[in-house]
Amino acid sequence: MNTAIKFLNAWKKAVNEHKEELKKKWQNPTEFTNFIKGDNGTIIFDVARELKLECYPKDYYFIDALLYKKEDIVDGVVANTFGITGISVAFEHENKFDKHLYTETCKMLTVCADLKVIVTYPQGPIGYKPTDTVMDFIHTIIKSSRHGDQISELENLLFIFGYQSDFEWEGYVFKKEGWKQIG
């Protein structure tokens, strides 16, 4: 099974298990984001457990959170520091769909990870198609990057859209010819 689909399924399972708490926090971006990617016991930890990966929930070189294999940890680093040699999942959480999504996308284009995931919240009803202006711009950025062909082939850049009204989640991966909905 595709890694993006596995992640999306783990994501949906985790958010649905915490649905009521997430709905209460949805309109408070700080609380909501902390529950998504904060310390142990949050959504990203549930996803990591489901995927049998470890989780580093703090910014790591400006990436919101990392999922990695235990064998990727660097032993013997300075106390209170963290080092890994590989990233299974680079995770970004972006509340401002219309304003900052392109910066998160550009960041992900520079990251070496098996899977890159951006969770965001379009302002619109469920089914807000990724062919709209913002996602057209994002598609152009990825397609024009030196890694566009590889990302399309591997389907390893996943966007997850969350919708508060119906508490629905949609997943899209980049393909050269357009966005591919998964899950």
- Tell me which residue range forms the domain holding 79: 3-182
Q: How many separate domains does the chain show? A: 1
pLDDT truncated to tens, each residue of the chain (183 aa)? 469 999 999 999 999 999 999 999 988 888 999 999 987 668 999 999 999 999 988 877 788 899 999 999 888 776 667 788 999 999 999 887 777 788 999 999 999 999 999 999 887 656 555 547 888 999 999 999 999 999 999 999 999 999 888 788 999 999 999 999 997
Crossing angle of helices 29-37 and 43-50, in 10° steps, is: 20
CA angle at residue 175 from 171 to 177, to 5 degrees?
Answer: 125
Q: What is the pTM of this model?
A: 0.91
Round to whole Å and give the CA distance between 66 and 68: 6
Beta strand spans in 14-120 (E) = 54-56, 65-68, 89-94, 115-120
Residue 178: how many CB atoms within 10 A of its CB? 13
Residue whose tokens read 């400006």: 62
Pair 182, 5: CB distance under 8 Å: yes
Sign of the CA dihedral 164, 168, 173, 179?
Answer: negative
Pair 160, 118: CB distance under 8 Å: yes
150-153 contacts at long range (C-beta below 8 A, 24 or more positions apart): 152/176
